[in-house]
Amino acid sequence: MSETPELPDGPAPVVSGEPVEVAEGVFVIPDGRVELVPNVGIVVGRDAALVVDTGLGPRNGATVLSQARRLAGDRRLYLTVTHFHPEHGFGAQVFKGAATIVYNAAQREELRRKGAGYVQMFSGLNPAVAAELRDVELVAPDVVFDREAELDLGGRKVVLRHVGPAHTASDQVVLVDDRVLFGGDLLENGIFPIAPYFPPHDVEVDVAGWIAVLGELLALAPEVVVPGHGEVTGPALIREVRDYLAHVRGEAVRLREAGVAVDEAAAAVEKDALERWGTWERPEWVGLAVRACYAAE
Predicted local distance difference test score (pLDDT) of residue 5: 65
- Cβ neighbors of 49 (< 8 A, separation 6 or more) are 42, 43, 68, 71, 72, 75, 76, 77, 78, 153
Q: Write the DSSP assignment of 14-40 as a string of letters.
A: ---S--EEEETTEEEE--TT-TT---E
pLDDT-based confidence at 10, cuts 50/70/90? confident
pLDDT in tens, 157-191: 999 999 989 999 999 999 999 999 999 999 999 99
pLDDT, mean of residues 239-268: 97
Predicted local distance difference test score (pLDDT) of residue 2: 43
The dihedral through the CA atoms of 231, 236, 242, 243 has a sign that is negative
pLDDT-based confidence at 7, cuts 50/70/90? confident
Q: For residue 297, how many other CB atoms are within 10 A of its CB?
A: 11
**Which domains, ranges and CATH numbers included, belong to the chain?**
20-296 (3.60.15.10)
Looking at the predicted structure, is the pLDDT value of residue 4 above 80?
no
Predicted local distance difference test score (pLDDT) of residue 297: 66
pTM for this model (two decimals): 0.95
Looking at the predicted structure, is the pLDDT value of residue 3 above 60?
no
Strands in 40-44's sheet, in edge-to-edge order, are: 20-23, 26-29, 40-44, 48-52, 76-80, 100-104, 143-145
pLDDT-based confidence at 1, cuts 50/70/90? very low
Distances (CA, A) of 188 to 132, 151, 245: 23, 26, 12
Predicted local distance difference test score (pLDDT) of residue 270: 96
Share of the chain above pLDDT 70, in %: 98
Q: For residue 192, how many other CB atoms are within 10 A of its CB?
A: 24
Predicted local distance difference test score (pLDDT) of residue 200: 86
* 58 CA to centre of own chain: 18
pLDDT in tens, 261-295: 999 999 999 999 999 999 999 999 999 999 999 99
Looking at the predicted structure, is the pLDDT value of residue 56 above 50?
yes
Q: What is d(CA 205, CA 61) in angstroms, rounded to the nearest whole number? A: 26
